[in-house]
Structure 1
């Protein structure tokens, strides 16, 4: 499972990733779509970057001079392309909005180089009524990067990617300290030079930053063995509008509440993470791959539950349902081709050769006893080879007028079947009620002793404007998730897309607590207005 650390080209401004890696929709998929979705509407033509119309910047000349005194003239960009590239994340609604000629963008983009510059920018912005949207890799899929002004007179994007590098590696303790703008591939490259790795590989790995992973409480594909990203964080340095905060330190501290957790998952509403210390480990001596097949999703789910609760130790374990297995989205290079009936699963084992072999043997015994059958190393190796390519396929589908979006949740093992069925039915009926058809695919992406995460891919035929058609369906899905014992987000985050549902999950008391903390350290309310916490009526745009 080689880490991809080679430099990538400048991402598409209105799509995913390096344009050189864009994919054509396979002929097999094109042939399959009419049978699955019926007539597909023609895609809305994308506008060229030069034709996009922007609202004039609301920043005054004295604002630009004030920011320039902090970060320098060359670290401020107010040109159209820079503003557009920092105006959204990479959800399907984000990409569909990019097809419009008029775009909502930040008034300027600032690129600080260190913690002190970030602190000074936040202090200036707070004093001069300018909202700030922290920006890392630009991969949010929940509206966390929308340049919302709220009640403020202007808004800037704070691009943190110049805060890049490894500051320290404690090889004895297995802890590394990084600047928060370091991307996933760059962190792995720096660690590998010393024989270490972080081992955090979400779908956004190639572009996302370590600070972004922390801010969204990311969970990578290796989470079964390496844990979630927030569990890897051992210390944080945070710049806020009212001062600096340093949290974390010796392991297992019981010195009051763990305040570091306030910033993990806060998505920039409290401040900007500028440095973070992370748990790292020696690069694995070996990797073992094995694919599995199960007669149905229920059997496979029970098998994964047994593995998770026995703790036999795969680094990766995933299970695709019948629909995802059937169209081949789970395996690189086989999209649109019929696979074997049933459900496919992937396992990967990393570490010391003897320990990996022992864990592999233990897991194989459990999966076999639960009704699984090994399909050899090939399927798992194919998955590992193509695991970062799915967003390119999403873009290809959009170009052909096919709506494609993802969503995720998590619940306890006893509720997996019920929640999955309810979400699937809500999506399908939502499309049907609007004159469309849909294909709903699902896999178990992350496992825990008490439950698992469900990751859905929705492929649909939408008649009319995709964003307006999808919004009410997504709203119904959010209602269904909370009504059936799921979480509003397992690893994508809250952003603006889920903010209206947060109170139903954490309670009004939880919302009051978050607002009280924000009011204390961001009294002007400039940090990412509208993300995580819905804007109050007084904080809405004028």
Structure 2
């Protein structure tokens, strides 16, 4: 086991946004982006002064943790591993949902957590939980704090002292079973650290959610995460083969086995439980040998409908096994092109000329290169021979569905920048613009209906609110029966007082369209509190009663992250 980090060494977000203080989105080298921001959301970036918050401008309310209980907790984790200063309490009181970010930036500190504990072992987790139960406290497990569903946010009405448990010190690969392809890993492991430790030994988990750089293995399991490469490696429920969770009655353990038939699945109960049943301390994950060749190829279709037919054909092919497939619709393709940097080198200038020549040719063929053209990315892994064979097969499928092959250049750029998007949301908030996402799982039969209906619902609300707006979408996470649709929307809010009302009007319209069409309320962003209004429509009244019964029986005192997934 490696030396444990101290609490202050554990990676964390800046208090008011995503990631590190010195990393930000830049638009000065992207000449098309300010034009798009002005035309789509009515914001002139060059004439408006962005505003970044300063914690010293706000009054942070004092914590409510009694000194005697604080001393008990220090006796378990040590003084240096209990944080109750203002910034640490603020950071751990908010996830990265848009409402959370808006409130934290406005200094809306109506209910903060009272202290943050950093255990170094499962025994310390269990000891802290015993104190929580004996003293009737509230405990909220915390991974990377990247959730966008309110899963780590304390209830504003909670009067009992609230503890956050940050597992970031528990970050080791404990054991690898080379024969079975399984790795035992502590739950506080961040995505990049996990891949680094495994890669050194020739292995990969292959799980890369958008939040990869600021999310943990335990968080993935607790929220049923999906990664960009789920086409090949599966969602977290496919990857997590065994679990350990500290529960009020002891430690729940599920065996690391390839399949299970033991009645209703305890393993499945723990997955997606968002801290309501206990604290996940360890996950045994499937690991795979790193492929000798990995390549992302870009394709272009004349429009979304042609692209979806191509994606469906790839998903149904018996000869193609891509690592991931992704299709951006026309508006998202337009957005992606606005993010292209201004060419400065000879190589980039040549590439820009080649692109303009291609677009000119496509326009001559009747393509709408402004609003309809849809870019796609497909990732291939394996031996050189296997990759070349699959690329050839996909090229034929794409061509047969009206598309063209762009090649590896655009695909490599996408692969390099895939984790940068969250910084854009902070940038937009500096200009009083909301940018957020909603995702759903839909069948191939109704993907196009969901796609068009959601657009109609969003723009209808924006017309009612008298606000401009911009929406775009991509398809990802292909399955035999369907795929994920991932919508992004942006609009300026008219005032701080009206902001969240305007946000929820737009988001609620999108979410309601999902469930009205039989799609899921969320594909991979958990329930938390943000998606609770639709949980009954998603799983039914009997399903909700079953979940409530499970939670009430295992946590009768409502000490474990109360209010998430379902109300009491």
User: TM-score normalized by structure 2?
Assistant: 0.89
Q: Say whether 1:30 aligns with 2:34.
A: yes
CA deviation after TM superposition for structure 1 residue 216, in Å: 1.0
CA distance in 1, matches of 2:252, 2:341: 47
CA distance in 1, matches of 2:278, 2:128: 11
* 2:138 aligns with one of 128, 131, 137: 131
Deviation string for 1:440-475 (max 9, x for gaps)? 110002111100101111121221233231012222
CA distance in 2, matches of 1:334, 1:239: 52
Equivalent pair of 2:16/2:53 in contact (CA under 8 Å): no
CA distance in 2, matches of 1:393, 1:72: 38
Equivalent pair of 2:34/2:44 in contact (CA under 8 Å): no
Q: CA 1:80–1:329 in 2, change beyond 3 Å: closer, same or farther?
A: farther
CA deviation after TM superposition for structure 1 residue 39, in Å: 5.4
Of 358-367 and 506-515, deviating more is 358-367
Question: Cα RMSD (Å) of the superposition?
Answer: 2.2
* 1:313 aligns with one of 305, 321, 325: 321
Give 1:499-514 correspondences, 5 Å limit: 499-514=532-547
Equivalent pair of 2:296/2:415 in contact (CA under 8 Å): no
Give 1:30-69 correspondences, 5 Å limit: 30-38=34-42, 45-69=51-75
Q: Say whether 1:412 aligns with 2:443.
A: yes
Equivalent pair of 2:310/2:397 in contact (CA under 8 Å): yes
In the alignment of these two chains, the number of paired residues is 528
CA deviation after TM superposition for structure 1 residue 206, in Å: 0.6
SS of the aligned residue for 1:437 comes to coil
Equivalent pair of 1:324/1:443 in contact (CA under 8 Å): yes
* 2:184 aligns with one of 172, 177, 180: 177
Q: Say whether 1:298 aligns with 2:329.
A: no
Deviation string for 1:289-311 (max 9, x for gaps)? 21101111011001101111224
CA distance in 1, matches of 2:293, 2:408: 14
Which residue pairs with 1:77 in the alignment? 83
CA deviation after TM superposition for structure 1 residue 432, in Å: 1.8
CA distance in 2, matches of 1:197, 1:428: 42
Equivalent pair of 1:45/1:99 in contact (CA under 8 Å): no
Q: Say whether 1:161 aligns with 2:168.
A: yes
The runs of at least 4 consecutive aligned structure 1 residues that moved more than 6 Å come to 40-44
Which residue pairs with 2:474 in the alignment? 443
CA distance in 2, matches of 1:349, 1:47: 43
Of 209-218 and 521-530, deviating more is 521-530
Equivalent pair of 1:328/1:334 in contact (CA under 8 Å): no
Give 1:85-484 correspondences, 5 Å limit: 85-103=91-109, 104-148=111-155, 153-311=160-318, 312-328=320-336, 333=341, 340=359, 341=369, 342-465=373-496, 466-484=499-517
Equivalent pair of 1:147/1:157 in contact (CA under 8 Å): no
CA distance in 2, matches of 1:398, 1:151: 28
CA distance in 2, matches of 1:263, 1:448: 23
Of 44-53 and 342-351, deviating more is 44-53
User: TM-score normalized by structure 1?
Assistant: 0.93
CA distance in 2, matches of 1:53, 1:240: 36
Q: CA 1:102–1:343 in 2, change beyond 3 Å: closer, same or farther?
A: closer
* 1:491 aligns with one of 524, 533, 541: 524
